[in-house]
Chain A
Amino acid sequence: MTFLSPFAFALLSLAAPLLLLYFLKVRRRERTVSSVLLWESTPRDRQASTAFERFQRDPLLILQLLALLALALALARPTASVLGHGARKVVVVLDTSASMKATDVAPSRFAVAKKAARALVDRLSLGAEVMVIEAGVNPRVSAPLSRDHDRAATALAGAQAHDVPSRLAEAVRTARALTADDPHAEIQVFTDGTHPPAEGDGLGDPRIRWHGVGRRSDNVGITSFAIRKDYFSSFEYQAFLSLVNFGKTERSFAFTLELDGKTLAAKSLTLGPDVRRAMVVPFGNQGGGVVTARLDVTDDLVADNVAYAVLPPPRKIAVLLVTPGNLFLEKELRTDPQVSLQLRPPDAYGGGMEGFDVVVLDSVNPPRIGRGRYVLVNSAPGDVPDEVIERALAEAGATGLAGLDTVLARGYPGGTDLSGGQWQRIALARALCAVQLGAGLVLLDEPTAQLDVRGEAEIFDRILAATRRTTTILISHRFSTVRHADRICVLEHGKVVELGTHEELIAAGGRYRTMFELQASRFGDDGEPGASLDVLD
């Protein structure tokens, strides 16, 4: 035996002061009392006789000396060199994926793998070091590298298979990393081989030994299951399933789809070997619930014979109908089972969404509606002064088309309809009005498509003047409209082809310039009116 830090024995010299301390007596103050008759010596006071006698009587000192000795010994780091075998290192990688639960070998693949791994650990000589890695979704070292075989055995006994896919390659990589390039190391992998790692993962490492468990792969399973809502009806659903027969033989089995125990569909199916089948099962349901898809089949893996999906309970759309009385609108809304309707007379409505999903305003002019989801029927926001509207109409060239209170639909009493160009002017007037009232972004999608060219140029100048302080996104085929923009983006087949100002793009001589010149030649340089045709269609 040798000591790595023999200097630690210097600590033993502390014994001397320790002993000295024991020679010290409590220094006592002397007091004169009337009589010591009433005083008794405290029993913990010891009368000193010989030093040796005192030590004998003092187990505390003995204990302290022993503690000091132990401390010094520990700090001196005694080491013993023993001749032994070259350290054999064994890393046990145990596949814990769902397929290990298969019962083609009794009692299950996992139990068999555990047993084999245990046998391997038990066979190891005493000097060998063992490590256990469980290969689940993430590799987990459940017993670090040590000679403690019992610990490895405990880790193996405690391992459990989970309903997860395996990342065996990762676990093997971990094992290789932990053993570095030690040639004595062995990596023993216990798996059923359902998720074979790719060749690039260093699996050619000669230190890896594969132990396969499982004889056959006789399994029919549900590999995907989803429930989707029908587009057209709120209470119609479709269940999407994929079923796969992994086995080598044709299998016939019963398939059931249940909602909270109530059978939605039952079918007898036959799947050939290695056949995947997708199924769509439509069903109707008015509430939430748990949908269970079940295969009544006896195979090696039970876990994938059942699948579940949860239907959230549908939420109704809260609609507030503010109307002085409109039987048709009310009836219409009430027929939709998804709508929970609440009626309110106009004088009880103070504006705002009031927590509803949709507010329908019928023949109501609320003072202010703000942001939200509104359906305005025969209504106009009442907070816009008439002169603002008049001015916006004038700027859009729509003055005198109709009175401000005229309903622009033929169905209403006194209602009238407008032509396409007139509608466009009205729409522009509305946008201008919004700008006037503080809108920060104006989106104009072909705003002048139905206007004649002369009218267009005139109106467009007005729009530009009115929207000077707002961001305006203008979508147009007409280059005469576009050229006023600060930044032009040319789109072709859904992709941005060119980007820049009119001058830049003309100078660039690309797609924009070609089209601009083509279009301009139609009208002539002097802007003489011609047919208002879209060049690019």
Chain B
Amino acid sequence: MASRTVQEFFTPEFLARLERLSLVSRRPFRGRLTGERKSPRKGQSVEFFDYRPYGVGDDLRYVDWNIFGRLERLHVKLFLDEEDLRVHLLVDASASMGVGGKLAYAARLAAALGFVALVSLERVGAVLLRDRVAQAWPAARGRRHFVTLLEFLSRARADGATGLNRALESYAIGSREPGVAVVLSDLLDPAGFERGLRALVERRFDVHVLHVLAREDVDPPFGGDLRLRDSETAERREVTLDADGLQAYRLRLQRFLDGAERFCRSHEIGYRRVVSDTSIEQFVLSELKEVMLA
């Protein structure tokens, strides 16, 4: 059952290629510096990072006696700990993600990233966001958890209203271990998404946004006199969609996309846009490889 689920999602070749990748964090996380906090993973290789004047209470073992011999001052060595990375997969599961198969696509994308992280022994957690954090898959490490992650993600149903700001804020505050946060969403929230993303950044998450769009969001396949129903708010809007209307829609869409991208760039948030009919393999292996995966 489990392996069948895996095969439904990914081909073995794709998994094999994913296995050779690992997530890249663009920043070392505070609190991982050696000596500041007790590491749960002692005995791992340690990389020299910097010196710092000795302060009372510092571990004498880390005092660099060569420096003391030369300068007659006490300095302690600072090390960059190769601590495992905490990976947060934040999947928007609001009703709008159900339009055009965006949620299914986002779930597969999240699973692929989760697989990469699990294989490289990162701690991976996943949550579904609606107007708040709706469901969570507790953080775990190791390849064997991939099947349960997959099951969790494949069970996700698009339903309910979005409250990206609130959901992300509460997640940022509630998370004790900041790390790499990948937000998979269409960002279509009447209240906006900026506050939520900012909250993650403020909590020192390394935030990536994978902006998932459906083909019909980009090229509406309909025309004429229409009553459009919002998938989340059930709000109706009557439009007459002709060439001009379509043009206007495209313009607004482009403004929205540009705004989202500009916001992300200015907040050091990784931004990638993907239309849900793109092949996952291609997107992960070519586009994400440059920014998140190595």
Residues of A within 8 A of B (CB): 26-42, 44-45
Q: Kindly state the separation between the CA atoms of A35 and B226 in the bound complex, as whole angstroms.
A: 14
Contact call A33/B229, Cβ cutoff below 8 A: yes
Decide if B245 is an interface residue (CB 8 Å cutoff).
yes
Q: List 23 A-B contacts (CB under 8 A).
A: A27-B225, A28-B238, A29-B227, A30-B227, A30-B228, A30-B229, A31-B227, A31-B229, A34-B214, A35-B96, A35-B188, A36-B228, A36-B235, A38-B188, A38-B249, A38-B253, A39-B249, A40-B239, A40-B248, A40-B252, A42-B238, A42-B245, A45-B238
Report the 3 A-B pairs with minimum CB-CB distance, sorted nearest first: A35-B188, A28-B227, A34-B96
Contact call A36/B237, Cβ cutoff below 8 A: yes
Decide if B169 is an interface residue (CB 8 Å cutoff).
no
Given A44-B240, A45-B238, A33 contacting B231 (CB threshold 8 A):
yes
A30 — which chain B residues lie within 8 A by C-beta?
A: 226-229, 236
A42 — which chain B residues lie within 8 A by C-beta?
A: 238-240, 245
B216 — which chain A residues lie within 8 A by C-beta?
A: 33
Contact call A32/B239, Cβ cutoff below 8 A: no
B225 — which chain A residues lie within 8 A by C-beta?
A: 26-29
B235 — which chain A residues lie within 8 A by C-beta?
A: 36
Q: Kindly state the separation between the CA atoms of A485 and B180 in the bound complex, as whole angstroms.
A: 135
Contact of A33 among B97, B224, B230, B245 (CB under 8 A): B230
Q: Kindly state the separation between the CA atoms of A470 and B209 in the bound complex, as whole angstroms.
A: 116
A33 — which chain B residues lie within 8 A by C-beta?
A: 99, 216-217, 220, 228-231
Contact of B228 among A26, A39, A44 (CB under 8 A): A39
B223 to chain A, nearest CB (A): 10
**Which of A29, A31, A38 neighbours the largest number of chain B CB atoms within 10 Å of its CB?**
A38
B233 — which chain A residues lie within 8 A by C-beta?
A: 36
Contact call A39/B214, Cβ cutoff below 8 A: no
Chain A minimum-CB-distance residue to B241 = A42
Report B245-276 CB contacts with A as 1/0, cut-off 8 Å.
10011001100100000000000000000000
Q: How many residues does chain B have at the interface if contact means C-beta atoms less than 8 Å apart? A: 36
Q: Kindly state the separation between the CA atoms of A33 and B249 in the bound complex, as whole angstroms.
A: 13
Which residues of B (94-126) have their CB < 8 Å from a CB of A?
96-97, 99-100, 102
Residues of B within 8 A of A (CB): 96-97, 99-100, 102, 186, 188-190, 214, 216-217, 220, 222, 224-233, 235-240, 245, 248-249, 252-253, 256
B224 — which chain A residues lie within 8 A by C-beta?
A: 29
Chain A minimum-CB-distance residue to B235 = A36
**Which of A33, A40, A41 neighbours the largest number of chain B CB atoms within 10 Å of its CB?**
A33
Chain B minimum-CB-distance residue to A41 = B237
A347 to chain B, nearest CB (A): 85
B245 — which chain A residues lie within 8 A by C-beta?
A: 42
Chain B minimum-CB-distance residue to A43 = B240
Contact of A34 among B231, B238, B239, B249 (CB under 8 A): B231
Tell me the dominant secondary structure on chain B's binding face.
Answer: mixed
B236 — which chain A residues lie within 8 A by C-beta?
A: 30, 36
Known: A39-B239, A39-B252. 5 other contacts (CB 8 A): A32-B228, A33-B229, A35-B96, A39-B228, A42-B245
B190 to chain A, nearest CB (A): 6
Q: Kindly state the separation between the CA atoms of A33 and B235 in the bound complex, as whole angstroms.
A: 10
Contact call B190/A35, Cβ cutoff below 8 A: yes
Contact call A34/B186, Cβ cutoff below 8 A: yes
Q: Kindly state the separation between the CA atoms of A224 and B230 in the bound complex, as whole angstroms.
A: 100
B256 — which chain A residues lie within 8 A by C-beta?
A: 37-38
Given A42-B245, A44-B240, A36 contacting B226 (CB threshold 8 A):
no
Contact call B231/A35, Cβ cutoff below 8 A: yes
Q: Kindly state the separation between the CA atoms of A31 and B100 in the bound complex, as whole angstroms.
A: 12
Q: Kindly state the separation between the CA atoms of A33 and B217 in the bound complex, as whole angstroms.
A: 8
B222 — which chain A residues lie within 8 A by C-beta?
A: 29, 31
A439 to chain B, nearest CB (A): 86
A26 — which chain B residues lie within 8 A by C-beta?
A: 225, 238, 240
Q: Kindly state the separation between the CA atoms of A38 and B220 in the bound complex, as whole angstroms.
A: 12
A49 to chain B, nearest CB (A): 15
Q: Kindly state the separation between the CA atoms of A42 and B226 in the bound complex, as whole angstroms.
A: 10
Q: Kindly state the separation between the CA atoms of A32 and B234 in the bound complex, as whole angstroms.
A: 9
Contact call A34/B240, Cβ cutoff below 8 A: no
A31 — which chain B residues lie within 8 A by C-beta?
A: 222, 226-229
A24 to chain B, nearest CB (A): 12
Chain B minimum-CB-distance residue to A44 = B240
A37 — which chain B residues lie within 8 A by C-beta?
A: 188, 190, 256
A455 to chain B, nearest CB (A): 109
B273 to chain A, nearest CB (A): 14
Q: Kindly state the separation between the CA atoms of A30 and B230 in the bound complex, as whole angstroms.
A: 10
A28 — which chain B residues lie within 8 A by C-beta?
A: 225-227, 238
Q: Kindly state the separation between the CA atoms of A42 and B241 in the bound complex, as whole angstroms.
A: 8
Q: Kindly state the separation between the CA atoms of A348 and B97 in the bound complex, as whole angstroms.
A: 104
A46 to chain B, nearest CB (A): 10
B239 — which chain A residues lie within 8 A by C-beta?
A: 39-42, 45
B228 — which chain A residues lie within 8 A by C-beta?
A: 30-33, 36, 39
Q: Kindly state the separation between the CA atoms of A81 and B169 in the bound complex, as whole angstroms.
A: 89
Contact call A32/B231, Cβ cutoff below 8 A: yes
Contact of B188 among A29, A34, A44 (CB under 8 A): A34
Contact call A32/B240, Cβ cutoff below 8 A: no
Contact call B238/A35, Cβ cutoff below 8 A: no
Chain B minimum-CB-distance residue to A42 = B240
A389 to chain B, nearest CB (A): 96
Chain A minimum-CB-distance residue to B224 = A29
B186 — which chain A residues lie within 8 A by C-beta?
A: 34-35
Q: Kindly state the separation between the CA atoms of A4 and B186 in the bound complex, as whole angstroms.
A: 72
B214 — which chain A residues lie within 8 A by C-beta?
A: 34
A35 — which chain B residues lie within 8 A by C-beta?
A: 96, 186, 188-190, 230-232
Q: Kindly state the separation between the CA atoms of A310 and B240 in the bound complex, as whole angstroms.
A: 78
Chain A minimum-CB-distance residue to B256 = A38
B260 to chain A, nearest CB (A): 12
Contact of B226 among A29, A34, A38, A44 (CB under 8 A): A29
B231 — which chain A residues lie within 8 A by C-beta?
A: 32-35
Chain A minimum-CB-distance residue to B192 = A37
Contact of B100 among A29, A34, A39, A41 (CB under 8 A): A34
A129 to chain B, nearest CB (A): 58
Q: Kindly state the separation between the CA atoms of A384 and B87 in the bound complex, as whole angstroms.
A: 125
A36 — which chain B residues lie within 8 A by C-beta?
A: 228-230, 233, 235-237
B238 — which chain A residues lie within 8 A by C-beta?
A: 26, 28, 41-42, 45
B97 to chain A, nearest CB (A): 8
Q: Kindly state the separation between the CA atoms of A34 and B102 in the bound complex, as whole angstroms.
A: 10
B58 to chain A, nearest CB (A): 54
Q: Kindly state the separation between the CA atoms of A14 and B227 in the bound complex, as whole angstroms.
A: 31
Given A40-B248, A44-B240, A45-B238, A32 contacting B99 (CB threshold 8 A):
yes
B237 — which chain A residues lie within 8 A by C-beta?
A: 36, 39-41
